[in-house]
Structures are given as structure tokens and as C-alpha cells.
Amino acid sequence: MNTVNVKAEHDYSVFIGCEWSSTLVNKLSGRTRVALVVSSSFVPDLSSIKAIDADVHVFEVPDGEDAKSQATLMALWNWLGAAGFTRSDLIVGIGGGAVTDLSGFAAATWLRGIDWIAVPTSLAGMVDAAVGGKTGINSDYGKNLIGSFHSPQSVLIDLNFLKTLSERDFCAGMAEVIKCGFIDDHEILNLASSLDRNNLLSDFLLLEDLITRAVAVKAKVVSADFKESFAREALNYGHTLGHAVEIYAKYQLRHGEAVSIGMVFVAELAHSRGLISTEVLQQHRDLLSKFDLPISYDRQAWQKLAPLLALDKKARGNTLRFVALQGIGATVRLEDLSSDELDAAYERISS
Ligand SMILES: NC(=O)c1ccc[n+]([C@@H]2O[C@H](COP(=O)([O-])OP(=O)(O)OC[C@H]3O[C@@H](n4cnc5c(N)ncnc54)[C@H](O)[C@@H]3O)[C@@H](O)[C@H]2O)c1
């Protein structure tokens, strides 16, 4: 098992390669009430948790983004109220990023903040959503618009969860892993290259190393910049066009799939500015397509995507801001791009 420590409003640890239920049981001693929040479509074996000497409640929420609705949050608040949850009680979110985002936000808001533990079960949840303290739900006006920074007490990563995860969700999570490789840790790219594409789970030690390194990249950035000023922007590599593609595609693409397209786009921008070599640009395409991640997008979509770029959280006033690479492991802000440069980069990723 590997441990990565995160500095935030309180320090906490991410345990990678643990057995989640026994680790969780150990962390529950002394709690009077525990809420286990799970998706109704993925309920792991909770028997050992239910057997502890505490009042354990299981709250099932709808799957995917439906978990992050105001209605689900309201239901969760009501359940917590009905079960008499106090300041010293605990919420545990066990699921993909949607479940941990909702659970963390319920914990942030119930009684102005109670403790929570994240047990991410998807690869995207393990390397991204459950680490960093961002919690939240969606608004009718967009994803993640209602939220809070509220770090968990710990994050428990059990690789066995990956055995039931769909290949599409595994590969979508790999986009965030690869992103961490490009922005900070070259070795992640080597490890991702050596993963057996025909048997993704064949080498758990390699996977544990890969996930630990990706978590360490996120932990390092978050620890330096918990509330997202400049340093944390590095984690948004590929996300500027990625978010626009998600909106354009009406969230039918996985987040990682949209980020994959966004990374190739910004790599094209960086390449045209001479910031990265042709080899690094090609490395984006090779590695992302190894995991069946999209590396091109519909040429006709650009007319609609270009205005959507301005909605990105990194945009300031009328200035678009991209996180780009200046070689592997070094990020730089690109703010002075002309529309000709943007058009030309999109043309090169068009299909
Ligand atoms: N808080 C953050 O910093 C942060 C960062 C990135 C993403 N997110 C959020 O995370 C969410 C995306 O997370 P996601 O990709 O995990 O999606 P998700 O939570 O919707 O899970 C994807 C699907 O996988 C299923 N699933 C999860 N684990 C499984 C397992 N072990 N076996 C079988 N099925 C399993 C889920 O039930 C769901 O159907 C989005 O809402 C996104 O906004 C948050």
C-alpha cells in the first residue's frame, strides 16, 4: 500500500492499494452515526461496515450526474436530519466522482460542515475527484456550479474496485492519469505506455504505481494552492476545450474523453508556438489513442465550440487562458492567442 499526504484546510492521507472495508472499519471507531452514500447502480458489499458498533445508515442515490442534483442533495439532507446526524457524525461517499462530489458537499453543508471519508471506485474518482477537496453539485445553469472546498478526512483507494469498472470508464480515467504525466511526471507516461492494453488489470503493482504517481501530482498541486489561484490551474491542462466539448456534446462524452480532445488541441497550440517538439505532440496522440480516447473532433463543431471557450473558469474578461506545456513537466499560461491560431489548431484536430 502507498500513502500520499495532502495539505489543505486540514492535512489528510490518500491510501492507495488498501483493502477499503477493513481500513474504513478501523477509521470508524468512536463514531456514533455513519452515513454510507452509494449509487443505486453500484452497491459494494457493506456487511462488515454495517456490523460495527455504530448506527450505520445506507443512503442510495441515483447513478451518475443524477446524484449531483439539487433534489438528491435535498433528499440526503432530509435523511441526515431524520437519522439525527450531529457534528461528530460522519459521511462516507463510496462510488465514482459523482457520489464523492455529492457526499463531500453534503458533509460540507450539513451543520456547516461535518467529517467525511472518500472511497472512490472509478479510476477518475481515484486520481481526480476524491482528491483535492472540491465538492459540489450541478445547477440548471451548468455542472459543478454549486460547491465548496471541504477536504475529506482520508481517501481509501482499493484497486479491486477497478475489476468491475467498464473499460470505457477505465480509459476515461486514464486521460486524467496521462494529463498528470504531461504536466508533472514523465514516468507516468512510461508506465501508461507499458500497461497491457489487452489486459488492463494484469499488473496491479504497475497500476498501483501509476495511480500513486497521479495522486501525488494532484496532491502536490493542491497542497501548494488549495483554493485554486494560479498553481492549481495546471490541473486544467486540456480542460478549456474539453469543457466546451462536454457542453457541446450535451455531456454524452465522458469527462476524460473530452479532456483528451482538449489536450491534443492545446498540444497543437503549444507546438505551433515552438513550446513542445513534434515528438511530444505525437506522444499525446499515441498515448491517448492507446486507450481509445478521442484525439480529433467534428470540424463543423468549431463554430459552436469557439464561443463556448469563453465560459471557461480560467477566462478573465475577454481573454482566453489556456494551460499549455513548455516541454513535458512544465506548464505555462497562454493568453495571447489570436483567432487564427485557434482556428488553425482546431483544423489540425478536426475530423
Ligand atoms: N471534485 C473534483 O475535483 C472532481 C474532479 C473530476 C471530476 N469530478 C466529478 O466526478 C464525476 C465524474 O466521475 P466518474 O467518472 O467517476 O463518473 P461517475 O461517478 O458518474 O461514475 C461513472 C459510472 O461508473 C460506475 N461505477 C463507478 N465505480 C464503479 C465500479 N467500481 N464498478 C462498476 N461501476 C462503477 C458508476 O456507477 C457510474 O455509472 C463528475 O461529476 C465530475 O464533475 C470532480
Bridge-partner residues for 33, per DSSP?
A: 55
pLDDT at 309: 87
pLDDT at 317: 54
Q: Are 195 and 203 in contact (CB under 8 A)?
A: yes
Our answer on whether the CB atom of 238 is closer than 6 Å to any ligand 1 atom is no
Q: Is 255 designated active site? A: yes
Residue tagged 446526524 (cell numbers): 85
pLDDT at 350: 97
Q: Which residues in the chain come in under a pLDDT of 70?
A: 228-230, 312-318
C-alpha to C-alpha distance for 256 and 260, rounded to whole angstroms: 6
The one-letter amino acid code at 44 reads P
pLDDT at 155: 98
C-alpha to C-alpha distance for 88 and 95, rounded to whole angstroms: 23
Q: How far is the CA of 125 from the centre of ligand 1 (A)?
A: 6
DSSP 8-state code for residue 59 = E
Q: Enumerate the domain spans of the chain.
A: 2-163, 167-349
C-alpha to C-alpha distance for 263 and 240, rounded to whole angstroms: 9
pLDDT in tens, 241-282: 999 999 999 989 999 999 999 999 999 999 999 999 999 999
Q: Is 246 designated active site? A: no
Question: CB-hemisphere CA count at 13 Å for 227?
Answer: 2
* Overall CATH class of domain 2-163: alpha beta
Question: CB-hemisphere CA count at 13 Å for 61?
Answer: 34
The CATH architecture that domain 167-349 belongs to is Up-down Bundle (1.20)
C-alpha to C-alpha distance for 38 and 313, rounded to whole angstroms: 30
Q: Is 10 designated active site? A: no
Q: Is 186 designated active site? A: no
Cell of 13: 492521507
Our answer on whether the CB atom of 138 is closer than 6 Å to any ligand 1 atom is no
Cα 207 to Cα 17, 123, 189, 214, distances in angstroms: 9, 10, 12, 10
Q: Are 61 and 67 in contact (CB under 8 A)?
A: yes
Q: Which atom of ligand 1 is least distant from the CA of 173?
A: 15
Cα 118 to Cα 122, 190, 235, distances in angstroms: 12, 29, 20
Q: How far is the CA of 124 from the centre of ligand 1 (A)?
A: 6
The phi-psi region of residue 298 (left if phi > 0; otherwise alpha if psi is between -120 and 50; otherwise beta) is beta
Q: Which atom of ligand 1 is least distant from the CA of 120?
A: 28
pLDDT at 316: 53
